[in-house]
Structure 1
C-alpha cells in the first residue's frame, strides 16, 4: 500500500481535483482509497454529486486518527490518496498526513502568488521528512505557448524541485467536474472531454511508475 498525500499550503491550486481525478485514473487498474481530512470537505461534496458509483473506496470527513492507522487496514489497497488542508491554520493536520505518507503530490498553478506557499510547503514540511515528492503543474493554459516551458524552467533551474513530466491543462470540463460529479472514468470520451481524460490518465501512469517495479504490470 502506498499513501499519497496531495498537499500545498496554498489554497485554490487544485488539490481536490488532483485527488479525485487521480484516484479515478488509478482505479482503472489498481485498488484505491480516497481519504479527506480537509475540514472544507470538498471531496465529499464532489462525491455526493457523482451520479454513478464511485470507482474507488471513499472515506470522507475523517478524523486524523484514521491516518495513523492506515497500515492496519484489513483491506489491501494499492494506493491511498489523502486530500489535505490548504492553509496555515491547519498545519498540524497536514503534518499528520505527511507523517503517514510515502509520496507527496504538490499541485501548483502558474500564478506568482502560489510560488511562496508551494516552496514553503516543500522546504519546511516535505523535505525535512525526506519524503519523495513532485510538483504537478495544474491549469496550464494551452493558449499561452510559453507558459508551460517557463514554469518548467523555474521548477528545474531556479527552484530546483522535482516535478511530474506530465501536467494538467485548463479545461472547462475539468473546472465543471466537481459540480457535475464528473470523473475521468465517467466522462464520455469525445472532442470536448478528450484533453481532460488524456491529461489525468498520463498523470496516473506516471504516478504508478514512481513505484515500479513494486506495482508492476501493464497499465
Structure 2
C-alpha cells in the first residue's frame, strides 16, 4: 500500500501535497455542531482560517481544535465521534516524535472565503454566491491563494481545484470561466489570466481585479 507523507505545520494542520495541491484533514462540521453523532474526516483545500483543519496533539493523539474529539480510524478511514468509547482510537507511534516536534513550514497560506452579491427583488434583498458556472443562495466556499493569485473552487469528486479565469484580454468585457489549477507557484505571474488581486477593504469585502486591473463585476441577467 502506498503511504503519502503528511506535514503537521505551524497552523496545526495535517496536510498532504496531492498533484501540487495542498489538502488538509478537515473535521466534519456537523459533529462539532452536535448535529450528527459521528462522521468521517475529509481532505479539503488547506486554509489558514478554517478551525476545522486545526488539530492539537495530546497523549500521542490528534484532537480537534476545541479539544473535545479524538481522531479515530476504522478500515483505513479517519473519523470523529461524540461517543468517546467508539473504536478505534488513532494513536501516534513513538517513531513519529521527531515529526510531531518539527516546526513545519506551511505548504500554502490560502484563505477560505466566498464572493457574494446582493439583488433587490420584490421579496426584499437576496444574497447570491458565485460558483463555477452560476450563482445561488447556498454559500459556496472559494479559496484565495495570495501567493499565486488564484481564486478557486474545489471539486471533492476529482480532488481538484478549478480557478476563475479572466477572458477579457483585448475585449471590452467577457465572462469569466473556470479552469483546472493547483497551488503551484509557477502560475504566480501577474500576466496570468488566473491571477486576481483581492483588496480586503472593509468587513463587508472589497474590490477584485484581474491580471490587467479589470474589476470583477456581476450582472443581473445572462
TM-score with structure 2 length normalisation?
0.25
TM-score with structure 1 length normalisation?
0.26
Structure 1 or 2, whichever has the larger Rg, is 2
Higher helix share: 1
Higher strand share: 2
- Higher relative contact order at CA 8 Å, sep ≥6: structure 1 or structure 2? 1
